[in-house]
A and B are shown apart, each in its own frame.
Chain A
Amino acid sequence: MAGPESATPVEQITTAVRSGEWSARQVASDCLARIASAEDRLKAFLHVDEQDVREQADAIDARIQRGETDGALLGVPVAIKDNLCVRDLPTTCGSRILAGYRPPYDAEVVSRLRAAGALIIGKTNLDEFAMGASTESSAFQQTSNPHDLQRVPGGSSGGSAAAVAAGLVPVALGSDTGGSVRQPAAFCGVVGHRPTYGSVSRRGLVAFASSLDQVGPLTFHAADAARVLEVIRGADPGDSTCTVDLLGIADSPARVEKLRIGLPAQYWRDDVQAEIREALGGVRDLLEGAGAELVPIDLPLTDHAIATYYLLVTSEASSNLARFDGIRYGPREPGAELADVYRRTRARFGDEVKRRILLGTFALSAGYYDAYYKKALNARREIQAEFARAFERADLLLTPTTPTTAFLLGEKTQDPLELYLCDVFTAPSALAGIAAVSVPVGKDAAGLPIGAQLLAAPRRDHRALAVARWVQSRVHYSLDPVKLEARSGT
């Protein structure tokens, strides 16, 4: 049948739907069929309401019949991380404390996707409340990496990354607090973009660490991420960090020969997996060969970023997650007194969430506030200043997204600190609030994807995405969806 292949560029889908070559109904049915055939092995989705998807598609087809063919994402299937509210679908954040909760409104980014003609396909799995780097802390299911089902997809937006990589959807939204879009994108071999802090509304994103949380797209093609950004970005009176349109003017396409590419010494380290260093070296050589100037950069505070990041996010999380007490959202455990209801309901949190609430409550408590929280706040400002100085000397920074490729399921679950260290190359830029893109640039000997990270000054998102697109068109990396291993016994 003539339905779209999953790695079809978004523009091709919208053109075919607009012209009537494909109906939205057909696109939706193909997408649902792909999900049905892969989900027993992948487990990327927590909720898909097939009837709702078909109704959305029929509504789009009716619009087209009336001649209303506008929409940058007309007929494009989009999966949504399950910490973003979608009206009348469950929003669980991968947590038993929100099991069955159905928010009565759409997140602002979801409203904008719908207005652009997108089909909202379903909700993807994640680490509980987006706290993790492997999607293993989800209370409901374990998502696999489509490149090797025994390995993690990364996290916390692991369901979104796996769904795109396996070709179930061409676009997914994730959220990135310290790398939760970019790291799973790198592990699954797709593009992941963390927009400049304040450029995309978080209204309807369940808050984890508000001074860092950002919503961003995961796609096969960098050009598609740029297109999705154009749909979801922009001022929203419902998010006080997003009251102006920061990305008002898209950068003109990057001219690589004019660019100064910074190479931060603290990211080009010998303890990074050899194949990642080699692949990154290849990208660096491509850029230099095209005329870009390579600039050595020093970011000495990189080594302090993990401690800074975790003290701040756990502090913010301990406050943000206080609202989950059984009264307003999700199931309630009975108790004779209010405090009993709170404690019994909050026993539904998983281990990682409890650990982070404890750590954050400690860092904010009397006697420790100055030594931990305040110190981390000051370190964060120094890290921001360090990046600002780097961007006086370089237009973009090129780094690995992760120090290793995807690890085995269960490999790091016993040692939370080891999982925290997965964020070493993504947390610093999150603390600085800058633009960041991960783009697949190769595979290791085991066939696992390798991601390169492009960091740009605030508001320079389109510059980073344009160079990601340039890199993607020149490296040897297949743009076909991953073919999943057969089920054992079949």
Chain B
Amino acid sequence: MQPDQIRAIARLAHLDLTDEELSRFTGQLDGILAAFAKLEDLSLEAPPPAGSIPAAPLREDEVRPFVDPHELVEASEDHADGFFSVPRIL
């Protein structure tokens, strides 16, 4: 992996990296991906049917009231009138 590539990924993930972090992470992620290249040895055909995980059926999609939704909003640092506050975007 190249530093430019890491910088582009960091931008996608809303992460600001310092130059020191960029250089360190580039080396580390390169090493990790090189070790994971062993997956390329596997010749996997089309995906086999899901194996041993028991499939949980979905419940009916019913509305269930949350006890106090305002409490969730009030647990945030910046809120007003039951809404999350954010910087003006328009």
Please report the C-alpha to C-alpha distance between residue A341 and residue B74 in the assembled complex, in whole angstroms: 19
Tell me whether A311 is interfacial, beta carbon within 8 Å. yes
What total of chain A residues lie within 8 Å of the partner, measured CB to CB?
A: 78
Please report the C-alpha to C-alpha distance between residue A136 and residue B41 in the assembled complex, in whole angstroms: 33
For A346, the chain B residues whose CB sits under 8 A away are: 13-16
For A393, the chain B residues whose CB sits under 8 A away are: none
For window 39-90 of chain B, which residues contact chain A by CB distance below 8 Å?
Answer: 39-42, 44, 47-54, 56-59, 64, 67-68, 71-72, 74-78, 84, 86-87, 89
Which residue of A is nearest B24, CB measured?
Answer: A351
For window 235-249 of chain A, which residues contact chain B by CB distance below 8 Å?
Answer: 237, 240-244, 246
A377 touches which of B14, B47, B68 (Cβ 8 Å): B47
Please report the C-alpha to C-alpha distance between residue A349 and residue B47 in the assembled complex, in whole angstroms: 35
For A416, the chain B residues whose CB sits under 8 A away are: 28, 32
Please report the C-alpha to C-alpha distance between residue A168 and residue B56 in the assembled complex, in whole angstroms: 37
For A105, the chain B residues whose CB sits under 8 A away are: 67, 71
**Majority SS at the chain A contact face:** helix
Once A346-B14, A358-B10, A358-B29 are accepted as A-B contacts, the answer to whether A385 and B56 lie under 8 Å apart by CB is: no
For B5, the chain A residues whose CB sits under 8 A away are: 362
For window 344-381 of chain A, which residues contact chain B by CB distance below 8 Å?
Answer: 344, 346-347, 349, 351, 354-355, 357-359, 361-362, 365, 372, 375-379, 381
- On whether the beta carbons of B9 and A358 are closer than 8 Å, the reply is yes
**Majority SS at the chain B contact face:** loop
Tell me whether A66 is interfacial, beta carbon within 8 Å. no
For B64, the chain A residues whose CB sits under 8 A away are: 237
What total of chain B residues lie within 8 Å of the partner, measured CB to CB?
A: 52
For B42, the chain A residues whose CB sits under 8 A away are: 301, 304, 375, 378-379, 382
For B76, the chain A residues whose CB sits under 8 A away are: 327-329, 332
Tell me whether A459 is interfacial, beta carbon within 8 Å. yes
A-B contacts counted at CB < 8 A amount to 171
Please report the C-alpha to C-alpha distance between residue A323 and residue B6 in the assembled complex, in whole angstroms: 21
Which residue of A is nearest B64, CB measured?
Answer: A237
- On whether the beta carbons of B56 and A241 are closer than 8 Å, the reply is yes
- On whether the beta carbons of A338 and B56 are closer than 8 Å, the reply is no
A432 touches which of B1, B52, B67 (Cβ 8 Å): B52
For B32, the chain A residues whose CB sits under 8 A away are: 310, 359, 416-417, 420
Q: Chain B nearest CB: distance from A458 CB in Å?
A: 5
Q: Which residues of A contact B (CB under 8 A)?
A: 101-105, 196-198, 237, 240-244, 246, 301, 303-304, 306-308, 310-311, 318, 322, 325-332, 335-344, 346-347, 349, 351, 354-355, 357-359, 361-362, 365, 372, 375-379, 381-385, 387-388, 391, 416-417, 420, 432-434, 457-459
Q: Which residues of B contact A (CB under 8 A)?
A: 1, 5-6, 9-10, 12-17, 21, 25, 28-29, 31-33, 35-36, 38-42, 44, 47-54, 56-59, 64, 67-68, 71-72, 74-78, 84, 86-87, 89
Q: Which 7 A-B pairs have the closest CB atoms?
A: A384-B51, A104-B71, A307-B36, A433-B53, A388-B52, A385-B51, A342-B14
